[in-house]
Structure 1
Amino acid sequence: MTLGIGVVGAGYWGPNLVRNFRSSPDWDLVAVCDLDEAKARRVIGDRSTIEVETSLERLLARDDIDAVAIATPAQTHSPIALAALQAGKHVLVEKPLADSHPVGAQMVQVADQHDLVLMTDHTFCYTPVVQRIGELIADGVLGEILFIDSVRINLGLIQPDVNVFWDLAPHDLSILDYVLPGGLRPVSVGAQGADPLGAGNVCVGYLTMPLPGGAIAHVHVNWLSPTKIRQMVIGGSRQTLVWDDLNPQQRLSLYDRGVDLHSVSADATERARAQVSYRLGDMHAPTLPEREALAIMAGEFAAAINEKRAPRTDGRAGLRVLEVLEAADRSLAEGGALVPVESTVLTTGGAS
């Protein structure tokens, strides 16, 4: 069933949502809502039948709109999403889900109460490469996950209202939540950061997350690097995966290389004397389809609504990312110490 949607926000991310919902066979883009009418009209273009709304209240009162996609500043996500849910609309929210975990949890609860879909636009999770990574891990190709190293650095726009963790790390955290069995559930979080320019927010950050089972994840984010790097290495007991997002010819590589520890003894002294061998096998680069992530995301949003199920990146996925970001803030305040992740347990219900 084709669904009617309105996009709220015609700024940086809004035009991308407009383009993909406009071309999707699952959606009828009814209206674009922005306080700046001229900006909204520029986004939809000339000779368009898509309407422009400057009032959120009027947009939500329309009976030809089943859902809204929110592409506005993070601090406005919650009031807009809650108003939409109260109006009976399904909601897609760009990352992060909200500007705090308690507010995000309220959004999830309201969606559950109204049996509506609340979806987080974790765009990278809908790229063919991340979906393949998830399949490889689920199929046991990598074996037991031992470590994860992720780097996302570039000469980026320094944000006045959030630090580099809140700006860039949601991408890496949402990817880990998508591909790891059971989602992203670190034992604790440690964050170290610096503001060498005196900009008022941390511009360079290092996030360390011990994971259940003894593995560890590390995320490096940076607004000040003159070179752009987007790379993730996931080391497993069988194979190691390298994802280089800036190498379109070979985005994903699998290496049959690693370290084997030949010991079954539980005794620490025996383990220390265990024989270590190095596995030096082949490298394989899987073929990946070329599909736009936002188009896949739009299809998943429609499917979740029509099938009355939770989407792959639902509100709870957004909450798990917020939990880590808030733990990172607490760790920064404590000088980089490892701090526990404070998780709110929500009963399962609704489609969010």
Structure 2
Amino acid sequence: MTIHIAILGVGRWGVHWVRNFLQHPDTQVIAIVDPFRERLTQCQKQFKLDEQQIILATEWETIRDLKTLDAVVVATPASSHYSLITDALHQGYHVLAEKPLTLNPDECRTLTELAKQQQRQLFIDHTYLFHPAVQQGQQIVKGGKLGELRYGYASRTHIGPIRQDVDALWDLAIHDIAIFNHWLGQTPNRVQARGKIWLQPEKGLADLVWVTLTYPDGFEASIHLCWLNPDKQRRLCLLGTEGNLIFDEMSPTPLIWQQGYVQPQGELFLPAGVSTSVIEVEKAEPLGRVCHEFIKAIQSQQTPSIASAQTATQLVEILSALTQSMQEQGKTITLK
């Protein structure tokens, strides 16, 4: 059965949804919506779209009643997610939404219940959880190869793009928090964040954020987030008693297992057993996997946990608590 899809939003990331769903054997893109006509024109030229077969519209209301429509991809700013997804679910459509699901945990919970009532899939694009390196890394951690876990750290920095609707925390942190939660098999119960604002003080949007996550077993992870740093980093590390696991998206070998320990020698501690192993990772585009799993979820009526609304709600709860911490000058916030 062919799934007929509408894609809402064809900005910097939205065009990748168009590309993937145009190529998917079980889908047909029947409508693309974006408020900026120039984006629609660019998209039409890029993919050589036939307007006789694919509707190009500037408003959701133009296509919301299409009788052949089965599912929508919501690739619009997060502030618009709640109203669009609510309407789409009421119309009886399956929904694939970019992260975060919304900017409010209560809205996430409402959408979760609505999807259940409508018996429709609400599938959230936590892209990195579909990355082959992240999935392989989770198996290594689960297998106990790192020994007793001690701490974790991550850096997600670059010079731009600068968002005007959300700060660096909401723009960047969700990726690393999702990976830490997935690898550890738990969610933090205490969080803390501090930020610095330079570019948009009138909006109160932090350009630099330092995050600390504390998990129920005492494990701590720190995250450095900045969109004003010329040094582009996409690096996450988990360190244990038997070595550490590094996911570095910018490296040609993105998953590395480093082993080593220190040996007492008199009053000194000297490195020993140091070695580095490259973990072989399947070559696959994470976003392509997301598209494939979304279609499978529609066909099977089962959403994988990593894309579920429950997982999405947990992440929004964490981000909301981190925002509260920043607003209260780095106060530690306890999560229920």
Q: What is the letter of the counterpart of residue 101 of structure 1?
A: P
Segments of structure 1 that go 5 or more residues without pairing to the other structure are 262-275, 343-352
Deviation at 1:150, TM superposition (A): 0.6
Residue number in structure 1 paired with 2:22: 22
Could you say which residue in structure 2 is the equivalent of 1:34?
Answer: 34
Residue in 1 that maps onto 2:185: 181
Say whether 1:97 aligns with 2:101. yes
Contact 1:177 1:317 in 2 (8 A): no
Match of 2:322 in 1: 328
* CA distance in 2 between partners of 1:178 and 1:297 (Å): 16
In 2 relative to 1, CA 220–8 (structure 1 residues): closer, same or farther, beyond 3 Å?
A: same
Instruction: Give the TM-score normalised by structure 2.
Output: 0.90
Counterpart pick for 2:85 among 77, 81, 92: 81
Q: After superposition, give the CA deviation of every residue in 1:184-223 in whole Å (9 maximum; x if it has no partner).
A: x112000011114564321111000111212111111011
2: distance between equivalents of 1:300 and 1:259?
44
Going from structure 1 to structure 2, the CA distance change for 1:339 and 1:24 (only over 3 Å counts) comes to same
Partner Cα separation in structure 1 for residue 233 and residue 279 of structure 2: 21
Matching residue of 2:308: 314
Distance (Å, rounded) in 1 between the aligned partners of 2:154 and 2:130: 18
> Is 1:232 the equivalent of 2:236?
yes
In structure 2, what is the Cα distance between the partners aligned to 1:285 and 1:186? Answer: 29
Q: CA deviation at 1:38?
A: 4.5
- Matched length: 326
- Written as runs of structure 1 = structure 2, the 5 A alignment for 1:1-352 is 1-45=1-45, 46-48=48-50, 49-182=53-186, 185-197=187-199, 199=201, 200-248=204-252, 250-258=253-261, 280-311=273-304, 312-342=306-336
Separation in 2 of the partners of 1:36 and 1:152?
A: 30
Q: Deviations over 1:2-28 (max 9, x none)?
A: 311110112222111101111112322
Q: In percent, how many aligned pairs have the same letter? A: 30
* Letter of the 1:60 counterpart: R
3-state SS, counterpart of residue 304 of structure 1: helix
What are the superposed Cα offsets for residues 155-176 of structure 1, whole Å, 9 maximum, x if unpaired?
A: 1133222211011111112222
Give the structure-1-normalised TM-score. Answer: 0.86
Give the secondary-structure state (helix, strand or coil) at the position aligned to 1:85: helix
- Cα offset, 1:152, TM superposition: 0.5
Q: Secondary structure at the match of 1:60?
A: coil
Q: Which amino acid aligns with 1:326?
A: S
Question: What is the identity, as a one-letter code, of the residue corresponding to 1:68?
Answer: V
- CA shift, 1:115, in A, is 1.6
Describe the superposition over 1:102-135 as per-residue Cα deviations: whole angstroms up to 9, x where unpaired. Answer: 1111111111111211111111222211111122
Runs of 5+ unmatched residues, structure 2 = none
AA aligned opposite 1:9: G
Rounded to whole Å, the distance in 2 between the matches of 1:187 and 1:291 is 33
Compare 216-225 and 170-179 and name the one that shifted more.
170-179
Residue type of the alignment partner of 2:258: Y
Q: Secondary structure at the match of 2:63?
A: helix
Q: Deviations over 1:299-334 (max 9, x none)?
A: 111111111112331111111111111111111122
